[in-house]
Amino acid sequence: MDEPSRQIISQYRNELLGINGVEKREKYACRLTTSLFSEPIGIYYGKKYFGEDAKKNVHGMVKKIINTYKKRLMKNEWLSEDTRKNAILKLDKMVVKVGYPEKIDPLYDRFIINNEETLYENVRRLRGIEVQNMFEQYHRPFDRSKWNMSGYEVNASYNPSTNDITFPAAILQRPFYDLKQTVSQNYGGIGSVIAHEISHAFDNNGANFDELGNMKNWWTQRDYKRFQSLTQKMIDQFDGISYMGRKVNGALVVNENIADVGGLACALEVAKSEPNFNCKVFFVNWALNWRIKSTKQINEMLLSVDVHSPAPLRCNIIAQDMDDLYKAFDIKKTDGMWLDKTQRLNIW
């Protein structure tokens, strides 16, 4: 790409993110390379900066959280037995992806760089192979082991159409997770993220998919009506809150809020069962998850289009729904963080 074109493309992004100057060519080249070779680079990153010991440890955390989630479903007072069994089946069939894939997709064997071609010609040819490979998937058996993000991404996901959860190596770093951190820190950090993604299997979107990712109703009519009623309460808790001079749309952010509150409650329950649990440390690391630095422009845009609530609200309001927060910090009715017990919400 020529320099004038690159500068024009950068202008809108720079205004949103508050960046001065054009992105350096080295950084642009890095982004281009990782976009083409995301999986092999992600595996390299994961093995170097995360490793097998940490991978086994996080898998152990996921197992504990899923087992605790099952116990919480068994104690659920508003689900019927039939719906409860189907929900637990979703947990039993959930595919867990931690750190990085075990093997590189064969697609990359077809990515051969031709030194006689220009950069543009090489990129165009590799993109063509990607598109061809995508269409070829229609004629192959569905592979639930495929990853939808790379090991170097600071992100996590639940995919309802495959019923899988993914935690790349880059999010499995401080403050979210570290082998040297305490159990309370790790469950307040990555533990809440893990449980959040699991909770997406039962939010207002995930609830429409079965244990294999098929769009299928697995609810009794009575249970689903009750679920819709609880979902509306989650909408109401956030709807209309002022932020950056605008109002939060509760319906837009409800599925993420359902996952946030269910995830934090489940991670907290697991952490409390561990030796030397420290509730304050747990909530402090939960708060560290949501540190953010952003411009007014991007916050205004996200309020209009993002399905996630603003980070400070995710931190504080979701924590207010946890009874343990009030005991840990001795919060009184006269304190700003106080929320009356009758207003504290949790669906799962």
Q: What is the 3-state secondary structure (H, E, C) of the chain?
A: CCHHHHHHHHHHHHHHHCCCCCCCHHHHHHHHHHHHCHHHHHHHHHHHHCCHHHHHHHHHHHHHHHHHHHHHHHHCCCCCHHHHHHHHHHHHHCEEEEECCCCCCHHHHHCCCCCCCCHHHHHHHHHHHHHHHHHHHHHCCCCCCCCCCCCCCCCCEEECCCCEEEEEHHHCCCCCCCCCCCHHHHHHHHHHHHHHHHHHHHCCCHHHECCCCCECCCCCHHHHHHHHHHHHHHHHHHCCCEECCEECCCCCCHHHHHHHHHHHHHHHHHHHCCCCCCHHHHHHHHHHCCCCCCCHHHHHHHHHHCCCCCHHHHHHHHHHCCHHHHHHCCCCCCCCCCCCHHHCCCCC
Q: 39, 164, 211, 260: which one is catalytic?
A: 260
164 in catalytic set: no
Q: 164, 197, 203, 269: which one is catalytic?
A: 197
197 in catalytic set: yes
| Catalytic positions, written as ranges | 197, 260
